Structure 1
Amino acid sequence: MNTNDALPSIRVVLADDHDLVRSGIKALLTMIAGVQVIAEARHGQELVTLVESLKPDVVMTDISMPGMDGIAAIAEIHSRQPEVRLLVLSMYDTVDFVKRAVANGACGYLMKDAPPFELEQALRSVMATGSYFSPAIAQRLLQPSEPTVDDELTHRQVEILRLIAQGRASKEIAFELGLSPKTVDVHRARIMERLRLNDIASLTRYAVRKGLIKP
């Protein structure tokens, strides 16, 4: 009997906003016995929709994506389908990134520069034990960290901060989130007050440091 036939099938939905990166990861995943990439997403909202309809075993997602980011998508998927394993595949290894991902429902965290064999190790682990953290990430989780952005701001404030840091004007943000420009301005003032930051440049640097937008 072929030992590969005994391996359980793992259905994966893959999310990354860079087509080339996503194609490379997919190529590596398809080389793993029993693993099938059943769909790909370029942003968080597309990922949520695909997972809702396809009900995969595992989601592998980047964090920084346009529109709904990976953290928001993870939270949405976890609330709707808690049985889906959510594995982050990221270039960021700071404690803040990892803890935000886990707090929102991720059960594993893998670096994009990990050796190819670790992809299989991570998938098998999340299916068998429900979690996977590379040794380097596990070590970082033991370190003390500053409060995460979710500790400091409300969900709505995080949304608005991310859009501000992307250079969006109040009217654009208001239109996208279904708010009035005045409400957006009030939120911005409260964000600045809560974070003790006085200008847009400082807000942008904070957003980059917390992983809300890419550097």
Structure 2
Amino acid sequence: MKKTAAAAPIRVVLADDHDLVRSGIKALLSLVEGVDVIAEARDGKELITLVESLNPDVVMTDISMPGMDGITAIAHIHETHPEVRMLVLSMYDTVDFVKRAVANGACGYLMKDAPPFELEQAVRSVMATGSYFSPAIAQRLLQPSEPTVDDELTHRQVEILKLIAQGRASKEIAFELGLSPKTVDVHRARIMERLRLNDIASLTLYAVRKGLIKP
């Protein structure tokens, strides 16, 4: 990568649940003059904690992570630290993912298979212009999109769907969310009705396709 002088370092926090991926991204960014990776997170909750304590310039995060996912973390950070530029680095390139990320506060999106020089381009662009979308993603945005999971389900239903897709029983879900098992069952029935799905396998497939859980 070409090194470019910068008046002040751009402070970056990385978030990805795969150590090898984070190490690779950090190594590439270390070649860019004026960009400093100051911390790394393995999930959305850890990312929020780091942003609270370090107040970085840029967050570069995956979407699909265990526990709190990237979208939820982005929404929280955008609300509490709107000045932080949030850049999604994902393996998912569907319009649904991109629009969900942007709707929750992301200002940039690029793919994990992007050429290395694009990392520098993305970081500098979100700092200079407030946004960056790789050519491949920009092309996707021109295509018509299907309804997002947020269009189809309430926040509580999304929470329950994720746990159902992870194989949790109604009692486990009820305990984790502070609900009664009967309430969880009612939510599950409504989720199936709204999505027009008839079994747990179909719900799980939907959750994978929408990026709510990893395949």
Q: Same fold (TM over 0.5)?
A: yes
Q: Which runs of structure 2 are paired with 1:64-103 in the superposition (5 Å)?
A: 64-103=64-103
**Equivalent position SS for 1:40:** strand
Q: 1:158 maps to which residue?
A: 158
Q: Which runs of 5+ in 1 are unaligned?
A: none
Aligned mates of 2:47, 2:21 — CA distance in 1:
16
* C-alpha displacement of 1:5: 4.4
Tell me which amino acid in the other structure corresponds to 1:208.
V
Aligned mates of 2:73, 2:6 — CA distance in 1:
33
Q: 2:213 maps to which residue?
A: 213
Q: Which runs of 4+ in 1 moved over 4 A?
A: none
Q: Could you state the TM-score of these two structures normalised by the residue count of structure 1?
A: 0.96
Aligned mates of 1:130, 1:5 — CA distance in 2:
20
Q: Which runs of structure 2 are paired with 1:15-30 in the superposition (5 Å)?
A: 15-30=15-30
* C-alpha displacement of 1:57: 0.4
Q: 2:117 maps to which residue?
A: 117
Q: 1:147 maps to which residue?
A: 147
Are the counterparts in 2 of residues 75 and 105 from structure 1 also a CA contact under 8 Å? yes
**Equivalent position SS for 1:102:** helix
**Equivalent position SS for 1:39:** strand
Q: 1:182 maps to which residue?
A: 182
Aligned mates of 1:43, 1:10 — CA distance in 2:
22
Q: Could you state the TM-score of these two structures normalised by the residue count of structure 2?
A: 0.96
Tell me which amino acid in the other structure corresponds to 2:65.
M
Percent of aligned pairs with the same residue?
89
Are the counterparts in 1 of residues 6 and 33 from structure 2 also a CA contact under 8 Å? no
**Number of residue equivalences:** 213
The alignment's C-alpha RMSD in Å is: 1.2
